[in-house]
Chains A and B, each alone.
Chain A
Amino acid sequence: MSALDYLQRLEAESIHIFREVVAECEKPVMLYSVGKDSSVMLHLARKAFAPAQPPFPLLQIASGWDFREMLEFRDATAKKYDLELLVYTNEEGERAGVKPWTHGAAYSDIMLTQALRQALDQYGFDAAFGGGRRDEEKSRAKERIFSFRSAQHRWDPKNQRPELWSLYNARKNRGESIRVFPLSNWTELDVWQYIHLQQVPIVPLYLAKPRPVVRRDGRLIMVDDERLPLAASDRVETLSVRFRTLGCYPLTGATLSTADDLPAVIGEMLATKTSEREGRGVDKDGAASMEKRKQEGYF
């Protein structure tokens, strides 16, 4: 009998976390962003409660600018596993015409952060699973696995509960909630390796294929539908690209790539020279921006 390898240990830890939340919280929900981390989370959640179904719904915050393939994948996944799927959009923001290119940094605040808070309040969820990993970013490295939020959804990095051994304190008063990160101790490589080993389904956008793109501020933006405003000088090219992270398509830069299967993607990842978040537009406003957004309730 060989010892458990570290991926098996990570898997066991994540399953333990899912079960603690379900045992101790009244109304959990899983934040389902449709990305690769969400795919792994869902895979682990299904294992944690088998042969029962995961005893919580999935919640997707739809900004209205998600890649079409993400929405198709989302609906197909919910249908395939017979899961309850909640989709929430900040309708006020939508009516006000908040678009990725009209409101700058306020866009993601209104359509993602605010929307998430509204959704959590509306349904009264007291615990929400998120796919955040500590290796992603400096302020995430300090996040607890069970991260306490005030009734205003605020995170107070100076006043976090000590988290020892595998003992999680899920107790809270009415209105307060916790964000739970079952993948806290996973790295990007671990996630990819697990997807590969377990054949976890992921959105095809992670694999390279010829896609229509335009160049914006040094990034390749995919022309996912006709709503992307194109200037006369814009030239739509069809290039073999893939995405390292997924979000709103007008804000997510594609990577030139020919990696059309998982080993090739992992090979590119190992050789890559930039960190995962670099492709995301929202993180560009200074080193402390992530921490600030988290304090405000972003995942």
Chain B
Amino acid sequence: MVGGKRSGGAGLVAGDIEEYLRRHKAKSLLRFITCGSVDDGKSSLIGRLLYESKMIFEDQFAALRDDSKKVGTRGGELDFALLVDGLAAEREQGITIDVAYRFFTTEKRKFIVADTPGHEQYTRNMVTGASTADLAVILIDARKGVLTQTRRHSYLAALLGIRHIVVAVNKMDLVGYSQEVFDTIERDYRDFAHQIKLEAITCIPVSAVVGDNITSRSTLTPWYSGPQLLEHLESVAVPDLAEGAAFRMPVQWVNRPNAEFRGFAGLIASGVVRRGDALRVLPSGRTSTVARVLNSEGEALLGRAGESVTLTLADEIDVSRGDVLAAADAPPAVANQFEATIVWMHDEPLLQGRAYLLKLGTKTVIATVAPIKYRVNVNTMEHLAAKKLDLNDIGVCGLELSTAIAFEPYSDSRVLGGFILIDRLTNNTVGAGLLHFALRRSQNVHWQALDVNKRARALLSHQKPCILWFTGLSGAGKSTIANLVEKQLHADGRHTYLLDGDNVRHGLNKDLGFTDEARVENIRRVAEVARLMVDSGLIVMVSFISPFRSERRMARALVEAGEFIEVFVDTPLAQAEARDVKGLYKKARRGELKNFTGIDSPYEAPEDPEIRLDTTRLTSEAAASRVIAYLREADIIDVGYDPGI
């Protein structure tokens, strides 16, 4: 072992091993993250900790020596950063670009370190690392002081519920171990930390490269009387509060090996469960008592926070994956509207009104992003107006779920308050979020203040109601395209309705023929129905030949500006006749159909339609995509409805 004895393990005779293992097993675990700006020396610090805690093997050390000469940034001196910068790409670039987990052990503790990147565009990785950490080590380059990134990372650490912060003021060797420099940085940092309610802060002057105050007290900082880094990490108390809280367990899997056994498997999020305890199933609210507790060793008297168990209940009640089992007398709340903080992690922005999959505990539901209340400027903590969140943005917004779920505020429970958002098409994890509280109408002044009108309904459904008026010759493809558009909108969670010419003539308009007067009345009725539907908040698709300009103008006048979108499905008569899907043109040519548009009744093409679809060039699918793209551009979908206007 390089650097000496490894955690007291070397040289043990077999008889001591059992004793060694007992001591080792009794060690507690501390998970921490290191974060800081590019070149603050995070990787060097971790490499140094691994080295000093004797975790470097001889072959790894030999590789380090070779690598330091080949690609090191220290002029052939040992470059500890190379021990942890794993991926070839980042070794070439000289920066860490992803979360890496490192393991080391000292006499007192076991550690899992998440090395998280400093570059701004990789904030998502920092959040990932922070989500499982008890403590954060934030590096500050002594020459640069508190930077934007320092503030961002501290804010994220606070946001994700990390209560213990170590500020490692690094590269002290490059500022002549100046107490003044250190004191200024400490003061700046504490001022800032106070604003974001970070309390447990320890500042340590270090040099990761030289090794000052990492595992031993440096003689070059005689003015510093606090702990050195490793000493602090070994001794800081991080009590686990989950066990003292009320019992909660998200059900992962129902275990049914045979008709006699029906067990509910899960990892206990908080509290203790015993045989005979009364439990409540959420969201259904049904109750039962615990018949058996099985843990990893078999039948047990109790299960506690952190354990994976299987419970059986005394009664045959409906329980499935995604439900939460909880203490019957202290169940968590159930709701389907929330205020949440979202950290956006994808190149495609988060948009108001768009639906995502939300996974919380073991439950996955559809979540629609209600209006974004504000975006946080992480440098100033200012709240900024926003209609979308870009990669690495943090915002507070409303969320509306397809189903009610059991939850707790994130500040009380990471398990029942932390969630991820998943894109429904690509299945990528695109965001992470923290639930704060349930929104009820009464709590939401904005929504309460509005009368129930078109805007209020639209707000609930997160779309701008409108009429998509498809006009064109018989057989042009109106209904086919409208149908595809509706399918896409529906898949996106939009509320839609398709009024189809043929279908409406079977009911509402079955008394009307095909004379010019009847055609006008036909359109008038449909336009009125469409108007009512727009008022109810729907995106209405009207698929009617509607040959006359004046009736289309009348329909347009019934609704507000911007709510009528004329879609001209442009197919030359010759082509529509050649297709003749329903055989109507043939009939009309034979004189069996009177007043057939294009044959013996005129079609007045739109002069200035919002959308023109040339079906000689576009497939139906491409045409439908064009319509969806228009809706997006026109803020009909994807960008939410602003209630403030």
Interface residues of A (CB under 8 A from B): 1, 3-9, 11-13, 15-16, 19-20, 22-23, 47-53, 134-135, 138-142, 157-158, 160-167, 169, 171-173, 184-185, 187, 189, 193, 196-197, 261, 263-264, 266-267, 270-275, 278, 287-288, 291-292
Contact = CB atoms under 8 A, between A and B. Distances in A.
Interface in B311-338: 321
Interface of B: 1, 6-7, 9-14, 16-18, 20-21, 24-29, 57-60, 63, 67, 83-89, 91, 97-103, 105, 110, 112, 124-125, 127-128, 131-132, 240, 243, 252-253, 255-257, 261, 263, 265-267, 272, 294, 296, 298, 304, 306-308, 310, 321, 345, 357, 359-360, 362, 414-415, 418-420, 422, 427-429, 432
Contacts of B63: 287
Q: Which of B7, B88, B261, B272 has the most CB of A within 10 A?
A: B88
- The secondary structure that dominates the B interface is mixed
A1 B272 CA distance: 11
A142 B57 contact: no
Contacts of B11: 271
Nearest to B263: A51
B127 A189 contact: no
B29 A6 contact: yes
Nearest to B125: A162
A142 B98 contact: yes
24 contacts: A3-B240, A5-B25, A5-B27, A16-B308, A19-B265, A19-B266, A50-B310, A51-B255, A51-B261, A134-B101, A139-B87, A141-B100, A158-B98, A162-B124, A162-B420, A165-B131, A165-B132, A165-B418, A167-B419, A167-B420, A169-B429, A271-B12, A274-B58, A278-B57
A3 B252 contact: no
B578 to A, nearest CB: 37
Contact of B89 (A158, A197, A267): A158
B253 A23 contact: yes
Contact of A164 (B306, B307, B432): B432
A163 B98 CA distance: 12
Given A52-B256, A157-B87, 20 more contacts: A4-B306, A8-B306, A11-B296, A11-B308, A12-B267, A16-B308, A19-B266, A23-B321, A49-B255, A141-B84, A142-B86, A160-B98, A164-B132, A165-B132, A185-B103, A193-B21, A266-B21, A271-B9, A287-B63, A292-B88
A217 B260 CA distance: 60
Contact of A165 (B86, B304, B308, B415): B415
A52 B99 CA distance: 36
A1 B57 contact: no
Given A52-B256, A160-B98, A142 B87 contact: yes
Contacts of B85: 138
A146 B414 CA distance: 20
Contacts of A273: 1, 57-58
Nearest to B310: A50
A172 B427 contact: yes
Given A49-B255, A270-B10, A7 B25 contact: yes
A231 to B, nearest CB: 28
Closest 5 CB pairs of A and B: A270-B9, A138-B86, A52-B257, A15-B308, A288-B88
Contact of B103 (A3, A20, A135): A135
A290 B97 CA distance: 18
Contacts of A11: 296, 308
A141 B116 CA distance: 12
Contacts of A13: 267, 308
A274 B6 CA distance: 12
A52 B18 CA distance: 34
A270 B360 CA distance: 40
Contacts of B321: 23
B384 to A, nearest CB: 24
A55 to B, nearest CB: 9
Contacts of A272: 1, 57
B11 to A, nearest CB: 6
Given A47-B296, A134-B101, A16 B267 contact: yes
Contact of B10 (A134, A271, A275): A271
A193 B432 CA distance: 35
Nearest to B257: A52
Contacts of B13: 267
A46 B20 CA distance: 29
A263 B360 CA distance: 42
A100 to B, nearest CB: 22
A184 B114 CA distance: 13
A263 B252 contact: no
A48 B265 CA distance: 8
Contact of B25 (A12, A193, A274): A193
B87 A275 contact: no
A47 B294 CA distance: 10
A141 B46 CA distance: 13
Contact of B255 (A4, A20, A52, A197): A52
A169 B99 CA distance: 17
A187 B105 CA distance: 10
A266 B25 CA distance: 14
A180 to B, nearest CB: 14
Given A23-B253, A270-B6, A3 B58 contact: no
A138 B50 CA distance: 13
Contacts of A167: 359-360, 418-420
Contacts of B110: 6
A164 B103 contact: no
A27 to B, nearest CB: 16
A20 B252 contact: yes
Contact of A4 (B125, B298, B304, B427): B304
Given A5-B25, A196-B21, A158 B296 contact: no
A166 B112 CA distance: 15
Nearest to B9: A270
Given A9-B29, A263-B17, A141 B101 contact: yes
A160 B125 CA distance: 10
B17 A266 contact: yes
Contacts of A270: 6-7, 9-10, 12, 17, 20
Q: Which of A1, A141, A187, A197 has the most CB of B within 10 A?
A: A141
Contact of A141 (B6, B86, B420): B86
Contacts of A185: 101, 103, 112
Contacts of B10: 270-271
Given A12-B307, A139-B86, A165-B131, A267 B422 contact: no
A135 B103 CA distance: 6
A193 B420 CA distance: 34
Q: Which of A1, A167, A171, A187 has the most CB of B within 10 A?
A: A167
Nearest to B89: A158
A280 B423 CA distance: 41
A189 B105 CA distance: 10
Contacts of A274: 57-59
B27 A142 contact: no
A13 B31 CA distance: 14
A196 B27 CA distance: 17
Nearest to B321: A23
A271 B54 CA distance: 11
Nearest to B346: A162
A287 B101 contact: no
Contacts of B88: 287-288, 291-292
Contacts of B18: 263
Contact of A291 (B57, B86, B296): B86
A50 B307 CA distance: 15
Contact of A163 (B24, B84, B128, B357): B128
A19 B267 CA distance: 10
A46 to B, nearest CB: 10
Contacts of A163: 128, 429
Contacts of B296: 8, 11-12, 15, 47
A206 B272 CA distance: 40
Nearest to B101: A134
B282 to A, nearest CB: 18
